[in-house]
Structure 1
């Protein structure tokens, strides 16, 4: 593979169209949710936003508020609810109905704990965290075939 082909693949990888997406249904609600993977900078921003610093015996300890972080990940990764890209967790009618100040509070009121965890797992998978060695081997084989 030549330099231009390598650069073209790297440029294409950063485009929004190349971010993995998946539509999943929650039978209890009777709706589908289209989720997309999140890039490192977005996950870092959310992690920083939901990390609290506590002083314990004079030492600062960072503690991630995992529940709020998980809800924020879902809010950020949801690109459509019920196949409608105009409906997201921060829709004005949802905020009003649940008297919520943001998408994270709507998610807390609508989804069960297990549903939140399942959606977070899907987002993390789409973000590349759970890639199996089989998939990595496929990538290696693909790159070897291009040489």
Structure 2
């Protein structure tokens, strides 16, 4: 065998290191010139976001729940964004970048008179962009895992 044999502790260390590191992906939104790095979220984080974005209404002893999908996607994107930058002349020799401190960066919120990052996302992204990026966050969070990836 050409590969180095690992001991039990090294194998377990590899498992825990992999489990602790969520997948990340850089996404470029050409229309806005925004590059964002998205990270997968834990199940408890996604559940918490879903719960915060669900409206509950009681009528005649029955409770109906309605998920605000726009707020849900905006919150997913806000929580999953680890790096955000505006890129001018993307991919060209004279490319310029401005790094932001996330969607709640005061240069965004104060200019647009918003209270936070979720509002900035909802204001800046088109409906399809919001859904596509929200779906990408869910994919990074393991919701797009194919059964073939899990079996055996």
Per the normalisation by structure 1, the TM-score is 0.80
Output the aligned Cα RMSD: 2.3
Aligned in 2, Cα 1:28/1:19: closer, same or farther, shift over 3 Å? same
Structure 1 or 2, whichever has the larger Rg, is 2
1:106 aligns with 2:120: yes
Is there any run of 5+ residues in structure 1 with no aligned partner, and where?
A: 141-147
Q: Tell me if structure 2 keeps the 8 A contact 1:46–1:73.
A: yes
Q: 1:85 to 1:7 in 2, by over 3 A?
A: farther
Distance of aligned partners of 1:97 and 1:61 in 2 relative to their CA distance in 1, 3 Å threshold:
same
TM-score by length of structure 2 reads: 0.78
Which ranges in structure 2 are unaligned for 5 or more consecutive residues?
1-5, 86-96
More strand, by proportion: 2
How many matched pairs?
A: 136
1:29 to 12, 29, 32: 32
User: Could you tell me how far 1:67 is from its partner in structure 2?
Assistant: 1.2
Report which of the two has the higher share of helix: 1
